[in-house]
Structure 1
Amino acid sequence: MLDYAALAAVAAVAREGSFERAAAALGVTASAVSQRVRTLEDRLGAVLIARGQPCTATAVGTRLCAHVERVRLLEGEMASALPGLASQIAESGPPTIRVAVNADSLATWFIPAIAAFAGRGDRLVDLVIAGEDHTAERLRSGDVLAAVTTDHAPVQGCRTVPLGALRYAATASPAFVAQWFASGVDAPSLARAPVLRFDRRDDLHARWARTLFGPEPEMPTHWIPSTHGFIDAALAGMGWCMNPIPLVAAHLRTGRLVSLTPNHHLDVPLYWQHARIGTRLLDALTRDVVTAAKNGLL
């Protein structure tokens, strides 16, 4: 059997980033937290916390932290029938729902869902940023309880709900278009013009190019890991990029940004997947996510 006091210590260290802050959150001494973590590591034969500044959970530690949150959700489901358990749950604080979401959804339509969910006061959220094509990996690893993803195939033990599509446009400043696409947008001009990418997994620009020209050319790349940084860099004329239309609609209306292909967009279908446990909170979150998606997605 797992020692849940020790698991709570591991989760607190991973969440707070240090043994001292974890001790303060748990109301015990730092040495007690250290002893609980070390004893559990010895018992399991695995390192659970990578000591550093900050301390972080290892892969195994991450799985166990997710397990702790799942247990808390299941206990919450039983609280209405067991008043004694309800009081103990209240003393330990509200449960935290860990969710993986892509940066563009977070910047456009997702915050109203989280705000509505968290506004009820008896739950917290922990958002993990990952590419929409890779958030399902976080579900499979047990790192999160729910995710916004492009993967419609249900992860084992999860429920899938279609949300709609986020529409993207290839955009750039008028000066950039005049410099690099004076003769129009085609494969040769794309091979010369700098493109902005979020990270090495970001392939929206390649998908858009393939729908127009077949195999995409190699493109000189600026790496900017920020949704709003994309917009600022495009406005500054650094390169062209794929932006969610809701985020750049005002710039397109004023002409500060222009679409490289005004009649051609890239629609990215999104799905909501969540674990089939802790149904009270996860069902409530799902309702809020679906409502926000109806307002913010195609």
Structure 2
Amino acid sequence: MDLQLDQLRALDAAVAEGTFEAAARRLRVTPSAISQRIKALERAVGRILLQRTKPVRPTESGLAVLRLARQIELLTGDTARELGAAASESEDASPEADRRVRLPIAINADSLETWVLPALSGAPPGVCFEIHREDEEHTTRLLRNGTVMAAITATAQPVQGCRVRRLGAMRYRPMATRDFARTWFPEGATGHAFATAPVIVFDRNDDLQDRLIRRRTRRPVDPPRHYIPATSGYAEAVRLGLGWGLLPDLQIGTGDYAKSLIPLDDSLHVDVALYWQQWRLDSPALTAVATAIADAAAESLL
């Protein structure tokens, strides 16, 4: 197969931006040029690569080519950054754009809120992050479909084509205000209390609270639930007494949370093991970020 760089860039831009028009603006060409390049790429591989919907979506074959496109983009950006000059003289991209390295990473919300950002601040110059916030149980999906090149995940089994490294574990404790605990947990953290007390859940993918509830109730229950998807909003909802919730130790000891919240049971907690998965790619930028993440995890996690 003879795959042209400008064709791979067009595919990447179309998927990332959602439409040919937006991809054209990103690459500074016309929508017709994007369409022609993707058609030429499809002829070269003999497969349909995109569903022409709004937004456009890659087919299964398209995902395989998309992973290749993004790996080439990363390595090209690495090389250009190291040389200090544009790696390509194509009309698609300015020298400034060629020197940038775009690094899409999936990170769970609690890590993003607590320990990850300081690690990312030490990235090499010219690296631009595209952070995808996703539950740690679901970040591997973004690795499989080529959306991201690396992810913090709760999955130890490596995604095909990726390598995995254990980072440590985040410890979560059931927290509530004193007034809430007196009202709903008058006899302590009993199964009946967990079955009836309002609980705050991040979203419908979040099962941390249910894991802890099952330890106490030993049966399926469905307590009243508040869904609060924003990380800071989640902790604030607990602080305001809307319900109880699991907060990471790294967050409990900060700000108003340490003053206004109490653990429902000091011996009750949920540990979530975290892993770093990344594509098997010898990219200096990706390697530097992986090292920074691992160093930060060693200092912050159990």
TM-score range, shorter chain: 0.7 to 0.9
SS in 1 for 2:135: coil
* CA gap 1:193/1:42 in 2 versus in 1, 3 angstroms: farther
1:253 to 238, 255, 258: 258
Q: Taking structure 2 as the reference length, what is the TM-score of the superposition?
A: 0.84
Which of 224, 229, 242 is matched with 1:225 structurally?
Answer: 229
- Give, in angstroms, the shift of residue 167 of structure 1: 1.3
TM-score after normalising by structure 1: 0.85
Helix, strand or coil: the match of 2:122? helix
1:194 is matched with which residue: 192, 198, 202?
Answer: 198
Q: Which residue of 2 aligns with 1:207?
A: 211
How many angstroms does 1:112 deviate by?
1.4
Q: CA deviation at 1:279?
A: 3.5
Aligned-pair distance for 1:116?
A: 1.3
Cα distance in 2 for residues equivalent to 1:183 and 1:275: 50
Give ranges in structure 1 of 5+ residues lacking alignment: none
Moved more, 256-265 or 183-192: 256-265
Residue 200 of structure 1 aligns to a residue in which SS? coil
Q: 1:141 to 1:22 in 2, by over 3 A?
A: closer
Choose the corresponding residue for 1:274, options 278, 291, 294. 278
The answer for the alignment partner of 1:105 in structure 2 is 111
Would you say 1:284 and 2:285 are equivalent positions?
Answer: no
Deviations 1:199-223 (A, max 9, x none): 2221111222344454453222222
Amino acid at match of 1:253: A
Distance across 2 between alignment mates of 1:68 and 1:253: 47
Structure 2, unpaired ranges of 5+: none
Could you say which residue in structure 1 is the equivalent of 2:120? 114
Once the two structures are superposed, what CA deviation does each residue of 1:151-184 show, in whole Å capped at 9, x if it has no partner?
2222333222221111111112222212211222
User: What residue identity is the alignment partner of 2:106?
Assistant: A
CA contact (8 A) 2:87 2:99 kept: no
Cα distance per residue 1:241-267 (max 9 Å; x no partner): 11112223233431x122111233222
Are the aligned partners of 1:187 and 1:216 in contact in 2 as well (CA < 8 Å)? no
1:58 aligns with: 58
By how many angstroms is 1:280 displaced? 2.0
Cα distance in 2, alignment partners of residues 111 and 22 from structure 1: 29
Q: Residue 37 of structure 2 corresponds to which residue in structure 1?
A: 36
Using the TM superposition, give the Cα deviation of residue 70 of structure 1 relative to its aligned residue in structure 2, in angstroms: 0.8
Distance (Å, rounded) in 2 between the aligned partners of 1:87 and 1:3: 13
In the alignment, is the contact (CA less than 8 A) between 2:81 and 2:100 conserved in 1? Answer: no
For 1:54-96, what per-residue CA distance to the aligned partner results, in whole angstroms no more than 9, with x for missing partners?
Answer: x343354454333211123344677799999845598334232
Q: How many residues align?
A: 293
Q: Is the 8 A contact 2:169 2:271 kept in 1?
A: yes
* Residue of structure 1 equivalent to 2:50: 48
The answer to whether the Cα contact below 8 Å between 1:50 and 1:56 also exists between their aligned partners in 2 is yes
CA change 1:204–1:276 in 2 (3 A) is same
Q: Is 1:197–1:223's contact at 8 Å kept on the other side of the alignment?
A: yes
Fraction of identical pairs, as percent: 36
The 1:266/1:36 distance shift into structure 2, 3 A limit, reads same
Partner of 2:71: 70
Q: Is 1:151–2:152 an aligned residue pair?
A: no
How far off its partner does 1:287 sit? 0.8
Counterpart AA for 1:46:
I
